[in-house]
Amino acid sequence: MRSSAITPEMDGAQVTVAGWVHEIRDLGGLIFIVLRDREGFVQITLPKKVVDKDVFKRAKKILRESVIKVEGIVKKEEKAPNGFEIIPKSLDILNESQAPLPLEVTEKVPADLDTRLDNRFMDLRRPKISSIFKIKSQVTKSIRDFLHNQGFIEVQTPKIVATATEGGTELFPISYFEKEAFLNQSPQLYKQILMSAGFEKVYEIGPIFRAEEHNTTRHLNEATSVDIEMSFTDHEGVMQILENLIARVYEDVVTKCEKELEILEIKLEIPDTPFQRITYTEAIELLGNQIPWGEDLDLQALKSLATKIEGIYFITDWPTKIKPFYVMAHEDERISKSFDLMHNYIELASGAQREHRYERLAENIKAKGLSVESFDFYLKAFRYGIPPHAGWGLGLERLIMAMLGLSNIREAMLFPRDRTRVSP
């Protein structure tokens, strides 16, 4: 039985619980064991004069973080956690832990991030850390539920590809039989091909791989991307989908993850929609025109911008020259039908209306210095009827990081992969 299923009203009932020994207090003739399972804590109380002699002896020798199973009687006790304790009839050690522990699970002794990640199995036993991933699980479920209700079909696209999504060198090459292949940096090309196939609305939640050499608190080399693509719409249409999805995610976390938010000591506010929109040009003006028009906004610029705009907002109408070849331009071709979703200075998502006209798309590929022949498998889908379409990609770990105020994106990934870490 899970700890969360037991209540003080079950006074006198016999129950069986199993989990890890979180803490032990040995007062001589009285031993307290705090047992931890996935749902919380249970106090096991062993008065020497009440419990079986062998059970008491076994409890005396037990080490913290050992796995145990306890069968006993629920006793109402206001001073105990959750208002009850269990007086054991039997106590079995299912697996004994070694000592000393590689890090402190009770969170009384802090550990640096590298030590925690080196011992991630133990770090994840900490309630504050496991709460992050329970919330992440709910966020993923909320995204799926929302998109299904909007008529989207979930798809899975290849993660081993023959060419870059956007060109450039940020790719991990792999040996693929007699040829070279790459780990995919985005499902972009394939979800567009599915627009040609007539799927109309698709989404994918899956890994992406980017061989970026920078080692920052906001970047991972393997991350989880939430991607959508939608036919018969433009950038404004998918921006509305995105802002409504984000609001739904926040609402679900607030209503369904109360316990986890309490453990993390976070009071989450549900953002109002529609989100504020500013153009790239307006952003440059807010920054005092110190950045030449047409250049990307670096971290310092985004942090400065975040002091002038609160919460979650869109930056729209980016210069075409700094966006990928598949992004459609406005009538003024210097400006693209693109957007980034920002949470303070953190970019959560990027999207655009796509260029669906074959000749224009081929020209864009050439203009970026890429080989049209390399993209033939992709361009073929544009020769035989493809509707106007738009989409976006949302970084799941970025969303969790921003939502929960984490200082490092590695906190939002179970086993993060960065420039230096490929284990555990």
Looking at residue 108, its pLDDT comes to 87
Residues 202 and 85 in one domain: no
Chain-wide mean pLDDT for the chain?
96
Token pair 């796509």 is found at 354
pLDDT exceeds cutoff 90 at 162: no
Which domain-ending residue is among 95, 114, 135?
95
Backbone angles phi, psi at 171, to 5 degrees: -130, 145
pLDDT tens for 296-323 read 999 999 999 999 998 999 999 999 999 9
- Whether residue 319 lies inside any domain: the answer is yes
Residues 81 and 188 in one domain: no
What's the Rg (C-alpha) of the chain? 27
Cα–Cα distance for residue pair 21/28, rounded to 1 Å: 18
Give the helix/strand (H/E) hosting 360: helix 358-367
- Give the residue from 84, 115, 97, 110 showing the smallest Cα distance to 24: 97
Residues 267 and 305 in one domain: yes
Residues 179 and 241 in one domain: yes
Residues 283 and 232 in one domain: yes
Looking at the structure of the chain, the number of domains it has is 2
pLDDT exceeds cutoff 70 at 159: yes
pLDDT tens for 209-240 read 999 888 899 999 999 999 999 999 999 999 99
- Give the residue from 391, 396, 360 showing the smallest Cα distance to 195: 391
Looking at residue 260, its pLDDT comes to 98
N-to-C CA span, the chain: 31
* pLDDT confidence bin for 8, thresholds 50/70/90: very high
Residues 18 and 151 in one domain: no
Residue 195 CB contacts under 8 Å (≥ 6 apart), including other chains = 202, 229, 231, 356, 381, 386, 387, 389
- Whether residue 417 lies inside any domain: the answer is no
Looking at residue 165, its pLDDT comes to 63
Residues 138 and 220 in one domain: yes
Cα–Cα distance for residue pair 336/31, rounded to 1 Å: 68
For residues 122-134, give the mean pLDDT: 97
For residues 359-379, give the mean pLDDT: 94
- Whether residue 52 lies inside any domain: the answer is yes
- Whether residue 109 lies inside any domain: the answer is no
The SS3 of residue 95 is strand
pLDDT tens for 327-337 read 999 999 999 99
pLDDT tens for 82-114 read 999 999 999 999 999 999 999 999 988 889 999
Residues 165 and 256 in one domain: yes
- Whether residue 227 lies inside any domain: the answer is yes
Cα–Cα distance for residue pair 312/297, rounded to 1 Å: 17
- Whether residue 419 lies inside any domain: the answer is no
* pLDDT confidence bin for 264, thresholds 50/70/90: very high
Cα–Cα distance for residue pair 195/169, rounded to 1 Å: 27
Cα–Cα distance for residue pair 65/33, rounded to 1 Å: 11
Residues 314 and 257 in one domain: yes
Cα–Cα distance for residue pair 140/248, rounded to 1 Å: 11
- Whether residue 63 lies inside any domain: the answer is yes
- Whether residue 258 lies inside any domain: the answer is yes
The SS3 of residue 59 is helix
Residues 164 and 70 in one domain: no
pLDDT exceeds cutoff 80 at 164: no
- Give the residue from 63, 79, 5 showing the smallest Cα distance to 37: 5
Q: Which two tokens stand for residue 272?
A: 């109002």
CA dihedral over 112, 115, 117, 120, signed as positive or negative: negative
Cα–Cα distance for residue pair 152/203, rounded to 1 Å: 6
Cα–Cα distance for residue pair 216/27, rounded to 1 Å: 48
Cα–Cα distance for residue pair 232/415, rounded to 1 Å: 39
Provide the annotated active-site residues: 210, 212, 218-219, 347, 350, 398
CATH at 62:
2.40.50.140
How many CA atoms within 13 Å lie on the side-chain side of 401? 26
Residues 148 and 85 in one domain: no
Residues 317 and 203 in one domain: yes
pLDDT tens for 171-196 read 999 999 999 999 999 999 999 999 99
Range of the domain at 167: 122-412
The pTM for the full model equals 0.95
Q: How far is CA 260 from the centre of its chain?
A: 15
Which domain-ending residue is among 60, 95, 130?
95
